[in-house]
C-alpha cells in the first residue's frame, strides 16, 4: 500500500495575511453572500413596524447576526458561492462537502457526512418544510444521488447547522441543512435557461400582484444522451421541478409554500464477459418523490408571531437485482411507497428586550406500503458460509403516528453574554419509543472574541426499511446522540475570519447485527450498485465521534478570496460485543482550500484542492475468499486497514457576455485535474480464473462545462 504526503494548504498563507491585516476593524462580509434580517415574504411597501422583532423573524429565514443566532457558528451559503465553486457542478449538496467537519462518501454521489455520522443523520428543511431528501436517486439506505432536486437558481440562502442546533428542528443526530428560496429584494420578472453536466432546464420568476411572487424551475438530465456509463456500469436519468410562491395578505398575515418533485431511474449492467468486473449484479431502479407544503404566518403584535405549517411528502421506488452468476435469477425485489403528512406550529414571543421565548408542537402520520422479496437469500460477505442467507418476504401497510413538542428560551445578559436553553420531547409509535432531548448553549465574548460552549441531545429512528425487516420492529429503538461542542473566533477582522471548533458526539442504542457481534449499521457504507444487505438487528450499539475544525475566510482584495476548512476527527462504533472499531467515515485529516479570482469584470476563475486521509476498509479473509470465489470479510479486522490518501484538484472558468436582451454566461471546468486515482474500496473479481480483489477508484479526470442565458 503506497503512502501519500499531504500538500501544503493555501489556508496557511491566508492565516499569515490575517495578522497583517490586524489594523482593520469590524469584520465585514467575507463570503460572496450578504447577511440579511430574517423576514417573512414582504415587499418594499411593507409598513415600518414589520421591520421590528415580532414581524420579521420567521422559521424559514436564517438570522442576520451572531447575537440573534440560536447556536454556535452557523455557516451561511449563497447561491453565487455554489454556482462558481469548482468541482460542485452548481449543486448545493456537493458544495457542502467543502465545509468544516463534512466529508463525502463517494465522488460519484453528492452525499455529505457531518461529524462522523452517516448521510441519513442530516435533516433537510426548505422554506420551513421538512424534506425526506433533496437529492435524486435516494434509495432506502442512502440520501444522495448525482445532483440535488433543487435548482441552485431557486435558492436564496442556505445554512448548515451543526452546533447544538435549535430545538425547533425535528430530531436528527448530526446536522440540519436549512434552505430559503425567498429572495431578499422585490421580485422582478426574470428567466434563465441553462445546459450543463447537471442537466438542461430553466427557471422563471415574476411578481404575483403587488405583494407576492412566484417561481418555477425544471431540469432534465442529459448525460444519458452521450454515454451509458459514468463509472459504475450505468448512468442516472432524472428530471425535477420546483414551484414556489409567496403572498403578503395584509399587515398581519403572510403565506408562502412550495412543491418539489423528482423522477429518476438507473440501470446498472456489468459486462458479464469482463474478467476484471467486480459487480455480478444487474440492477434496475426507478423512483418518484414529491413534497408539497404551505406556511401561514400571523403577527399577533410587534413582539409575537406564529407560523402554522402543513406539508405532505410522498416517495415510491422500484428496485430489481438479478445475479448474473445464477442465471439472472432475481435475488432482491423492492416496491416501496412512503408518505408523511406533517402539521406543526411554531410561536415566538419577546417577553422582555433580554428574553425571547419560542415553542411549538408537531404531529405527523406516516404511510408505509412495503413489498420486498429476497427469495434466495444472499451470500453474505460477513459470513464464512457460502450458503445464501436471510431469505425474506415482506408485505406491510401501516400508518404510524409521531409527535413532538419543544420550548426554548434565549437570554441576553450584560457584556454580550447569551444563554440559550431548550428541550424537545418526541414519540414514535412505529417502535413504541420516546425521547426527551435537552439543549444548553453559552456564548461569551472573551477579549473581544466570541466563545461558545454547548451541550445537546438528539434522537432519530433507524431507516424504516430496517425497522420492518425480520423482527427488528420489536428490537430497534430511536438512536441517541449526545453532543458537547465549543468554539472560538480566533481572528475577526475586516477581510479575515478564523474560527476553531471542537466537538464530541456519543451514540447509544445504535442498530447492530444480531448474528455478527462485530457489525454495526454505522460500518455498512453506501451499497448503491451492490447487493442490498438486510440483517436481523438490535439497538445495543455504541459510538463516539470527536473532532477539531478550523474554518478560514480570507478576502485579500476585491478580486481574490480564499476559503479553507481543515478538520481532524475520529469516529468509532461498536457491535453487540461492545468493542469500539473505526467508523466507515473515520477520516482523521480532511482539508479543503477553495479560491476565487476575478480576472476582469466578466471573468471568474475558481479552484478547489481537497486532501484527506485514506478510507478505512475491512480486508478479505483471502483463504476463504479464494476457496469460495467471493468476498468473505475478515471480521477480526473490521475497518482495521486504511486506503491511500485522497487528493483532488478542480478548476472552473466562467465568463459573462451582456447582450441586448440578457446576459450569456459560459463556463468550462476540469474535475480531478491531476488525474489522481482515489481509492474507494476493494472488491472481489468473481469472473477471474483465480479471483482476487481489485481496487475500486472514485471519480477520474472529468470535464465540466455549460452555458446559461439570463433574461
Among candidate residues 459, 482, 481, 461, the one with its CA nearest the CA of residue 472: 461
Asked whether the predicted pLDDT for residue 188 surpasses 70, the reply is yes
Among 20-24, 155-159, 665-669, the range scoring the smallest mean pLDDT is 20-24
Quick: pLDDT tens for 128-159: 999 988 887 766 555 556 778 888 888 888 88
pTM, entire model: 0.85
Among candidate residues 101, 123, 100, the one with its CA nearest the CA of residue 179: 123
The pLDDT score that the predictor gives to residue 51 is 34
The pLDDT score that the predictor gives to residue 28 is 31
Query: 10 or 357: whose pLDDT is higher?
Result: 357
List the end-to-end C-alpha distance of the chain, in Å, as a whole number. Answer: 54
The pLDDT score that the predictor gives to residue 186 is 65
Question: 341-380 b/e with 16+ CB inside 10 Å = b?
Answer: ebebebbbbbeeeeebebbbebebbbbbebebbbeeebbb
State percent of the chain over pLDDT 70.
87
The pLDDT score that the predictor gives to residue 528 is 56
Asked whether the predicted pLDDT for residue 709 surpasses 70, the reply is yes
Rounded to the nearest integer, the mean pLDDT of the chain is 84
The pLDDT score that the predictor gives to residue 525 is 61
Among 1-10, 146-155, 162-171, 246-255, the range scoring the smallest mean pLDDT is 1-10
Confidence of residue 549 (pLDDT cuts 50, 70, 90): very high
Among 11-15, 164-168, 331-335, 685-689, the range scoring the smallest mean pLDDT is 11-15
Give 61: exposed, middle or buried? Use CB within 10 Å, 0-12, 13-18, 19+: buried
Reduced to 3 states (helix: H, G, I; strand: E, B; else coil), residue 624 is helix
Among 28-37, 129-138, 178-187, 682-691, the range scoring the smallest mean pLDDT is 28-37
Query: 298 or 233: whose pLDDT is higher?
Result: 298
The pLDDT score that the predictor gives to residue 597 is 92
The pLDDT score that the predictor gives to residue 460 is 95
The pLDDT score that the predictor gives to residue 439 is 95
Reduced to 3 states (helix: H, G, I; strand: E, B; else coil), residue 359 is strand
- Distance, CA of 364 to CA of 340 (rounded, Å): 7
- Overall fold of domain 10-184+259-710: Maltoporin; Chain A (2.40.170)
User: Where do the structural domains in the chain lie, given as residue ranges?
Assistant: 10-184+259-710
Among 31-40, 381-390, 592-601, the range scoring the smallest mean pLDDT is 31-40
State percent of the chain over pLDDT 90.
54
Question: 213-233 b/e with 16+ CB inside 10 Å = b?
Answer: bbbbbbbbbebbeeeeebbbb
Please say whether the beta carbons of 108 and 698 come within 8 A.
Answer: yes
Average pLDDT estimate for 210-238: 88
Q: Which residues contact 622 (CB under 8 A, 6 or more apart)?
A: none
Which range of 203-212, 347-356, 680-689 scores highest in mean pLDDT? It is: 347-356
Asked whether the predicted pLDDT for residue 35 surpasses 70, the reply is no
The pLDDT score that the predictor gives to residue 531 is 56
Q: How many CB atoms lie within 10 A of CB 1?
A: 8
Q: Which three cell numbers stand for residue 566?
A: 481543515
The pLDDT score that the predictor gives to residue 74 is 73
Q: Which three cell numbers stand for residue 93?
A: 449538496
Residues forming beta bridges with residue 75, ordered by sequence position = 160
Quick: pLDDT tens for 79-112: 888 888 998 888 888 888 888 888 886 787 777 8
- Distance, CA of 304 to CA of 387 (rounded, Å): 64
Amino acid at each position: 500500500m503506497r503512502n501519500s504526503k499531504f500538500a501544503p494548504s493555501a489556508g496557511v498563507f491566508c492565516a499569515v495575511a490575517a495578522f497583517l491585516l490586524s489594523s482593520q476593524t469590524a469584520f465585514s462580509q467575507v463570503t460572496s453572500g450578504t447577511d440579511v434580517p430574517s423576514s417573512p415574504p414582504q415587499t418594499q411597501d411593507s409598513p415600518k413596524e414589520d421591520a421590528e422583532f415580532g414581524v420579521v423573524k420567521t422559521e424559514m429565514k436564517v438570522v442576520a447576526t451572531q447575537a440573534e443566532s440560536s447556536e454556535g457558528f452557523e455557516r451561511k451559503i449563497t447561491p453565487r458561492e455554489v454556482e462558481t465553486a469548482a468541482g460542485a457542478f452548481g449543486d448545493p449538496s456537493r458544495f457542502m462537502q467543502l465545509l468544516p467537519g463534512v466529508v463525502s462518501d463517494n465522488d460519484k454521489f453528492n452525499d455529505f457526512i457531518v461529524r462522523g455520522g452517516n448521510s441519513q443523520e442530516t435533516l433537510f428543511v426548505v422554506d420551513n418544510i421538512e424534506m425526506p431528501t433533496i437529492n435524486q436517486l435516494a434509495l432506502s439506505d442512502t440520501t444522495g444521488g448525482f445532483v440535488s432536486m433543487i435548482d441552485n437558481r431557486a435558492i436564496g440562502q442556505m445554512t448548515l447547522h451543526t452546533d447544538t442546533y435549535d430545538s425547533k428542528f425535528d430530531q436528527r443526530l448530526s446536522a440540519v441543512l436549512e434552505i430559503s428560496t425567498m429572495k431578499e429584494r422585490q421580485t422582478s420578472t426574470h428567466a434563465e435557461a441553462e445546459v450543463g453536466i447537471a442537466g438542461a432546464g430553466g427557471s422563471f420568476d415574476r411578481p404575483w400582484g403587488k405583494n407576492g411572487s412566484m417561481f418555477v424551475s425544471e431540469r432534465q438530465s442529459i448525460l444519458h444522451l452521450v454515454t451509458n456509463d459514468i463509472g459504475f456500469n450505468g448512468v442516472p436519468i432524472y428530471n425535477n421541478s420546483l414551484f414556489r410562491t409567496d403572498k403578503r395578505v395584509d399587515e398581519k398575515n403572510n403565506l408562502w409554500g412550495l412543491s418539489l418533485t423528482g423522477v429518476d431511474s438507473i440501470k446498472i449492467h456489468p459486462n458479464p464477459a469482463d474478467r476484471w468486473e467486480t459487480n455480478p449484479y444487474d440492477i434496475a431502479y426507478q423512483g418518484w418523490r414529491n413534497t408539497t407544503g404551505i406556511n401561514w404566518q400571523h403577527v399577533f403584535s410587534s413582539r409575537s408571531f406564529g407560523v402554522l405549517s402543513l406539508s405532505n411528502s410522498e416517495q415510491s421506488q422500484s428496485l430489481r437485482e438479478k445475479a448474473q452468476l445464477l442465471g439472472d435469477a432475481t435475488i432482491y425485489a423492492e416496491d416501496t411507497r412512503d408518505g408523511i403528512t406533517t402539521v406543526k406550529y411554531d410561536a415566538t414571543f419577546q417577553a422582555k428586550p433580554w428574553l425571547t421565548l419560542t415553542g411549538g408542537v408537531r404531529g405527523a402520520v406516516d404511510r408505509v406500503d412495503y413489498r420486498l422479496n429476497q427469495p434466495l437469500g444472499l451470500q453474505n460477505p460477513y459470513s464464512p458460509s457460502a450458503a445464501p442467507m436471510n431469505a425474506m418476504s415482506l408485505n406491510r401497510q401501516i400508518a404510524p403516528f409521531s409527535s413532538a413538542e419543544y420550548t426554548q428560551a434565549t437570554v441576553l445578559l450584560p457584556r454580550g453574554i447569551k444563554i440559550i436553553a431548550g428541550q424537545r420531547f418526541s414519540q414514535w409509535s412505529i417502535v413504541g419509543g420516546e425521547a426527551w432531548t435537552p439543549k444548553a448553549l453559552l456564548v461569551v465574548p472573551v477579549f473581544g472574541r466570541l466563545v461558545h460552549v454547548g451541550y445537546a441531545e438528539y434522537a432519530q429512528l433507524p431507516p424504516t426499511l430496517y425497522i420492518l425487516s425480520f423482527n427488528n420492529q420489536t428490537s430497534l429503538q430511536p438512536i441517541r446522540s449526545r453532543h458537547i461542542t465549543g468554539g472560538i473566533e480566533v481572528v475577526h477582522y475586516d477581510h479575515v475570519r478564523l474560527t476553531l471548533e471542537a466537538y464530541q458526539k456519543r451514540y447509544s442504542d445504535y442498530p447492530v447485527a444480531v448474528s455478527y457481534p462485530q457489525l454495526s449499521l454505522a460500518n455498512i457504507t453506501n451499497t448503491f450498485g451492490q447487493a442490498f444487505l438486510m440483517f436481523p438487528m438490535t439497538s445495543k450499539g455504541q459510538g463516539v465521534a470527536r473532532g477539531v475544525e478550523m474554518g478560514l475566510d480570507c478576502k485579500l482584495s476585491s478580486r481574490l478570496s480564499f476559503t479553507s476548512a481543515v478538520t481532524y476527527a475520529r469516529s468509532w462504533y461498536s457491535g453487540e460485543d461492545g468493542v469500539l472499531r473505526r467508523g466507515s467515515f473515520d477520516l482523521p485529516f480532511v482539508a479543503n482550500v477553495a479560491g476565487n479570482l476575478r480576472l476582469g469584470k466578466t471573468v471568474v476563475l475558481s479552484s478547489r484542492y481537497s486532501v484527506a486521509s485514506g478510507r478505512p476498509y475491512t480486508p478479505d479473509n483471502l483463504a476463504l475468499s479464494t476457496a469460495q470465489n467471493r468476498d468473505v470479510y475478515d471480521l477480526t479486522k473490521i475497518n482495521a486497514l486504511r486506503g491511500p490518501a485522497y487528493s483532488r484538484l478542480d478548476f472552473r472558468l466562467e465568463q459573462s457576455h451582456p447582450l441586448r436582451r440578457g446576459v450569456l454566461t459560459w463556463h468550462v471546468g476540469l474535475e480531478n485535474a491531476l488525474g489522481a486515482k482515489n481509492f474507494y474500496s476493494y472488491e472481489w473479481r468473481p469472473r477471474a480464473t483465480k479471483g482476487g480483489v481489485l481496487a475500486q477508484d472514485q471519480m477520474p479526470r472529468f470535464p465540466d462545462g455549460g452555458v446559461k442565458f439570463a433574461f
